[in-house]
Amino acid sequence: SPVAAVIPAAGRGVRLGPGIPKALRTLGGTPMLVHAVRAMAASRAVSLVVVVAPPDGTAEVKSILDAHALPGGSPGGGWGRTDVLVVPGGETRQESVRLGLDALPPGYEIVLVHDAARPLVPVDIVDAVVEAVRDGAVAVVPALPLADTVKQVEPAPAGRPEPVVATPDRSRLRAVQTPQGFDRATLIRAHETITDDVTDDASMVERLGEQVVAVPGHEEAFKVTRPLDLILAEAVLARRRL
């Protein structure tokens, strides 16, 4: 079955500092979103990418993508075998993903959801996630062990130290990345059923009571969130171009 990738790219990226939407910031002179689309299109499995743009920026995102597509490409837009669609997003990441799912044509039984903010994910990770869904998992996350010990704290008044209440066993914790891969029907059911605030799509599937599984992620699939991450991303790109 062909695979579609939904790329939520409608966030403003306030933690990165003021300026243009995060997905349109450049890395090595190329918008982050373009790197993310290329990373999905690099997988032979992925034949459609749905980019979810800022609601007031759909036309701009379309023209940026057109400018970076291969010349003389297919009517879909010159991304090799992969077609690219652009749809407007919403107020939250969750809403943006749902709007992307709404735009999926029939026939794609496997859906990846990939943050535009993870522009450098290696294609091997994309393929490993697809393979795990093909092998029967309804939801797959790429995940890495943590370097830091994690503490749970109680909220405290601003400026006061926070009381620590627990230290989960680090060896069983994972930091999860994207692309996350799903059986399409399961992901759609999750988005129709779960209305709690969540930070990733797999946790919605967990709340349905379905089994989510983790496969090894990759350091280079890190999320560009804060200014330091931009420096790291530039360095990773520069090393790849050597």
The one among 24, 45, 69, 116 contacting ligand C5P by CB under 6 A:
116
| Interaction between residue 96 and ligand C5P (CB under 6 A) | yes
In angstroms, the Cα distances linking 109 to 48, 59, 208, 229 are 12, 28, 19, 34
Cα 174 from Cα 190, distance rounded (Å): 22
90 near ligand C5P (CB under 6 A): yes
Residue 24 CB, shortest distance to ligand C5P, in Å, is 10
- As a whole number of angstroms, the distance between CA 79 and CA 120 comes to 17
CB of 121 to ligand C5P, least distance (A): 12
Rounded to whole angstroms, how far apart are CA atoms 203 and 219?
21
Query: Where does this chain touch ligand C5P (CB under 6 A) — which range of 2-10, 37-45, 152-160, 209-217?
Result: 2-10
**Candidate ranges 4-12, 68-76, 160-168, 226-234; the one touching ligand C5P (CB under 6 A):** 4-12
Q: Which of residues 88, 89, 119, 181 is near ligand C5P by CB under 6 A?
A: 89
Q: How far is CA 230 from the centre of its chain?
A: 17
Q: SS3 of 172, please?
A: helix
Letters for 38-77 (x = contact with ligand C5P by CB under 6 A, - = none) are --------------x-------------------------
Q: Which of 154, 158, 138 is nearest to 210 (CA)?
A: 138
Return the residue of 225, 229, 236, 237 that touches ligand C5P, per CB under 6 A: 225
Comparing CA positions, the residue from 113, 118, 116, 121 lying closest to residue 201 is 113
Contact between 88 and ligand C5P per CB under 6 A: no
